Amino acid sequence: MSADGSNGYEAIAHLYVAGRGTRPIVGDAIGAATVRAWAQGFPPGATVLDLGSGPGEPGTRILQEAGLATCAVEASATMVAAFRERFPGVPIEHSTVEASEFFGRTFDGVLAWGLLFLLEPGAQALVIDKVARALVPGGRFLFTAPSQPLEWLDAMTGRPSQSLGAPAYERLLRDAGLTWVDDAQDEGGNHYYFVEKTPSTLDLDVPER
């Protein structure tokens, strides 16, 4: 993890907010349709946690427009300030996802859009495990990462990024009690993993005899 916790995003946050964080272009943002369709699959009022939310545009905005109750975790102070300006009253914790306690509660959904591959492999596994524990049985997790195992330099920060690849993510998800149910590719070539928390037999409603 970088010294500021944001893997280089604090240093370029103003640039990021001025681009992706600008309201009028949210509807057209790359991947917005994919995330919107996922968000619309929850009943109104369901709770969703936006990890590495940035300024909340477009992620939290899409979740809110779908009628969901949202919380966010974000490591960059500048991004957190921009988020609070856009979403006054919406809970956001200024923290790394590694250190966050995710508000000490459970959620119906967790979104990690453009986040996981910024973390070192051990931290990616830790976050998957934490997401599994934060989800209610049957809860849903959406994250992005290339389907191939891949290392590259982030275009905005110049820092190393790393996708563990689909087989490794599937293993980590399964070990955490999560099931990879589908995937998708957006118009920008970004890969989305749709994941569910398998209800354990203890969670199933067994009719009384």
Residue with smaller CB distance to ligand SAM, 73 or 128:
73
Told to check if 59 binds ligand SAM by CB under 6 A, we report yes
- Shortest distance (Å) from residue 207 CB to ligand SAM: 42
Determine how many CB atoms are found less than 10 A away from the CB of residue 129. Answer: 16
Query: Using the rule CB under 6 A, which residue among 17, 38, 54, 117 binds ligand SAM?
Result: 54
Site stretch for ligand SAM (CB under 6 A), options 94-102, 162-170, 181-189, 191-199: 94-102
E strands in 47-202: 47-51, 69-74, 92-94, 107-112, 135-144, 150-153, 160-163, 178-185, 191-197
The tokens describing 134, both together, are 């934060």
- Shortest distance (Å) from residue 9 CB to ligand SAM: 3
- Shortest distance (Å) from residue 201 CB to ligand SAM: 34
Query: Using the rule CB under 6 A, which residue among 9, 42, 117, 141 binds ligand SAM?
Result: 9
Distance (Å, whole) CA 140 – CA 172: 16
Told to check if 5 binds ligand SAM by CB under 6 A, we report yes
Residue with smaller CB distance to ligand SAM, 56 or 139:
56
Distance (Å, whole) CA 35 – CA 143: 10
Residue type, 177: G
Told to check if 96 binds ligand SAM by CB under 6 A, we report yes
Told to check if 139 binds ligand SAM by CB under 6 A, we report no
Distance (Å, whole) CA 173 – CA 163: 14
Q: What burial class does residue 115 get, using C-beta atoms within 10 Å of its C-beta: 0-12 exposed, 13-18 middle, 19+ buried?
A: buried
Which residues are bridge partners to 74 per DSSP? Answer: 94
The tokens describing 75, both together, are 């490591």
Residue with smaller CB distance to ligand SAM, 36 or 198:
36
Told to check if 53 binds ligand SAM by CB under 6 A, we report yes
Q: Tokens 């997401």, residue?
A: 131
- Shortest distance (Å) from residue 195 CB to ligand SAM: 17
Q: Please report, as ranges, the residues that interact with ligand SAM according to CB under 6 A.
A: 1, 5-7, 9, 20, 52-54, 59, 73-76, 79, 96-98, 113-115, 118-119
